[in-house]
Amino acid sequence: MFTGIVQSIGKIQNIILNKNLYFLYIKTNKKFIKNLKIGESISNNGCCLTIIKLYNNIITFNIIKHTFNITTFKKIKIGDYVNLEKPIKINNYIGGHIVLGHITDTAIITNIKNYNSSKILWIKPNNILQMNYILEKGSICVDGVSLTIDRILKNKFSVNIIPETLSKTTLSKKNICNYVNIETDIYIRSIIQTVKKLYNNTKYLT
């Protein structure tokens, strides 16, 4: 479980496919890697991955084909950068919102409005049904970053990126037509899905 507050930026060193399993090698700073252990989970662009090896300041993860195919990892290249976050500790402040690290969809950046030290991203989910769980002023996780939804249109939404977020995440490097991982708010999904089930059951009984 995560909060969507990025703690470090990693660089893809290598990607290897071996027997239907991908090995992802990410280089990061020694401060982030300190005290990490094999078997722990790390958010990589919002996707929860398990550490299988630690060597100097390189972390190795496994990615199964299913995860690879439904996330932006299928487009990632050696030299690309990713947002990294360690899981929540019980006694930590939750600065963003509860993030599970389970990607609900990929999305494309359709427009960017740049200002002096901030920007607005317009993002269109691949599956339009994801818009059911995207509410104005609600929370969403974009490439592992906890953001507040600003505006909503029929098939896309916007988020504001403040200077602090730009300086500490890979969102500063994004361009139009780039893809991102998104995770909609688990509480919004749970509420809407529960209400739908109750409505359908009531309708069926009557």
In the chain, CATH 2.40.30.20 sits at 8-85, 105-188
Model confidence at 126, pLDDT cuts 50, 70, 90, reads very high
pLDDT average, residue stretch 112-116: 92
Candidates 81, 72, 74; CA nearest to 29 is 81
User: Pairing relation of β-strands 105-114 and 119-125?
Assistant: antiparallel
The token pair that represents 104 in the structure block? 């609900």
What's residue 41's pLDDT?
95
User: Buried b / exposed e across 76-107, counting CB within 10 Å, b at 16+?
Assistant: beeebbbbbbbeeeeeeeeebbbbebebbbbb
Q: Which residues pair with 18 in a beta bridge?
A: 21
At residue 33 the predicted structure's pLDDT band, cuts being 50, 70 and 90, is very high
Identify the three-state secondary structure at position 182: strand
CATH of domain 8-85: 2.40.30.20
pLDDT tens-digit series, residues 35-84? 899 999 999 999 999 999 999 899 999 999 999 999 999 999 999 999 99
Q: What is the pTM of this model?
A: 0.92
Does residue 206 have a pLDDT over 60? Answer: no
Q: Report the pLDDT value the prediction gives residue 72, as an integer from 0 to 100.
A: 97
Query: In terms of Cα–Cα distance, which of 45, 58, 51, 60 is closest to 99?
Result: 45
Architecture of domain 105-188: Beta Barrel (2.40)
